[in-house]
Amino acid sequence: MKIKNLFVVFLLLITSCGKEDANLFEKADKEYQKKNLKTAIDLYKHFAQKYPESSKAPEALFKLAQIYLNDLRLPKEAVGYFEQIVQKYPNTREAMNALFMLGFIYANEIHDYNKAREHYQKFLEQYPNSELAISAKFELENLGKEPEKILTK
């Protein structure tokens, strides 16, 4: 009987943690949709720190990177979150997208073409059949070129 009770308590703990992390993630998403960026950032950060083993953790980091890149126009901060995804969650779809985005940010925002080349090449080595592979090849071929020169090519 005691073992059965312990098992029930254990199941309750596991399921309640899952609901709590889902609620926190959903709350972050809702705050982002309302454009409460500071609150959304705090919630995504809290989620990623509190639930690093969750399947949603790389997604939370990716959303943080997107906020810093697209909403706040702070590409160097976005780089930090994309790098975390690549390092901590290498076997996820977010890692594949983050690696591509690292090349893109270094090429188009920071203008560090050596780092851009490094990330695009790594991307192509790891994900040669990705739908982003064509874009990565195009970016590599045109690193540092003015848009007008690319169009007249």
Give the CATH number for residue 146: 1.25.40.10
Alpha helices in 67-146 (DSSP H): 75-88, 93-105, 113-126, 133-141
pTM equals: 0.82
- Whole-number Cα distances in Å, 117 to 5, 121, 149: 58, 6, 19
Instruction: Return the pLDDT at 147.
Output: 72
The predicted structure's pLDDT at residue 18 = 52
Number of domains in the chain: 1
**Of 112, 114, 113, 86, residue with least CA distance to 100:** 86
Please tell me the predicted confidence (pLDDT) of residue 153.
58
- For 42-90, what is each residue's pLDDT tens digit? 999 999 999 999 999 999 999 999 999 999 999 999 999 999 999 999 9
pLDDT for 8 equals 39
Burial class of residue 129, CB neighbours in 10 A (0-12, 13-18, 19+): exposed
Say how many residues make up the chain.
153
Kindly tell me if the per-residue pLDDT of 139 is higher than 50: yes
User: What domain range includes position 89?
Assistant: 2-151
